Structure 1
Amino acid sequence: MGNATFGTQIRRVRQNAGLTMEEFAGKLGVTKSSVNMWENKGVVPREDVLRHIAELYGVSTDILLGVNVHSDKTGTLQVIQRGLEKLDQPRLEKAQTMLETMFDDIFEEEDDEDI
């Protein structure tokens, strides 16, 4: 039995990268039929290939395999950090401004609780 979450996640990774199955396979050094098996049957590749996918596309193996990291605060922060690392300088500065605005609200709420 395959891992349905893996199939969904690997398809999402490939599509987000704007790649066909053949292009995705080429970047990973595997066959198109391997990618097809991953996506449609949830077949999980060897550990070295899985790690290569995670590194190349900036996604954790936990997310690829469907380990519940969404409820884990640390996992969520890691996903956000990887996203920020991909930004160019202007977008990073915009994200910083947005985060500072959010943090100001959080700090104001904490100050109100102290009163």
Structure 2
Amino acid sequence: MANKEFSNEIRILRSNNNLTMQEFADQLGVTKGAVSMWENKGVVPRDDILMRISKIYGISIDKLLGNNIDDLEVPEGKLSYIQRNLGKLDNEQLKKAENVLKVVFDDIFDDDEGEEDDF
């Protein structure tokens, strides 16, 4: 079964961990060809491999498979654009988004000065 979301999540996961396809494959006990099929064809591996990825990298299987749209309970229409697109960002892009949001939130919630944010 081909899954575009899985393909994207695996590519981002590998990239964020600065791993080549071969290094990623070695960590998971699979071939480089299998990783290539996941990233380029959206082929979803067996359940035991999904569980191994989840445990090693601390990512839910639901997120790997793209079932994360409803993770955040946001009222209909509110922040939906941001919510839909956060999962598409790599670590560098997330850091940039975080910095922008910190500036906005600092301006809105200026009464919390001095408290450390848990972003």
TM-score computed with the length of structure 1 as normaliser: 0.62
The answer to whether structure 1 residue 17 and structure 2 residue 36 are counterparts is no
Q: Give the superposition deviation at 1:30.
A: 0.3
Residue aligning to 2:97: none
Q: State the AA in 1 paired with 2:42.
A: G
Alignment of 1:29-68 (within 5 A): 29-67=29-67
Flag the 1:38–1:72 CA change in 2: closer, same or farther, 3 A: same
In the alignment, which residue of structure 1 is the partner of 2:79?
none
Structure whose alpha-carbon radius of gyration is higher: 1
**% identity of equivalent residues:** 51
Unaligned runs of 5+ in 1: 77-95, 103-115
Over residues 60-87 of structure 1, what are the superposed CA-to-partner deviations in whole Å (9 max), with x where a residue is unaligned? 11111011x243237x9xxxxxxxxxxx
Higher relative contact order (CA 8 A, sep 6+): 2
Structure 1 residue 98 displacement after superposition: 1.0
Q: What SS does the corresponding residue of 2:43 show, helix, strand or coil? A: coil
Query: What letter is aligned with 1:58?
Result: G
1:70-85 to structure 2, matched below 5 A, reads 70-73=69-72
Shift of 1:58: 1.0
Matched letter for residue 62 of structure 1: D
Number of residue pairs matched? 79
1: CA distance, partners of 2:60 / 2:31: 22
Q: Structure 2: 5+ residue runs without aligned partners?
A: 74-82, 84-114
Greater helix share, 1 or 2? 1
Query: Structure 1 runs of 4+ off > 2 angstroms?
Result: 69-74
Distance 1:5 1:65 in 2: 6
Aligned AA (1:72): D
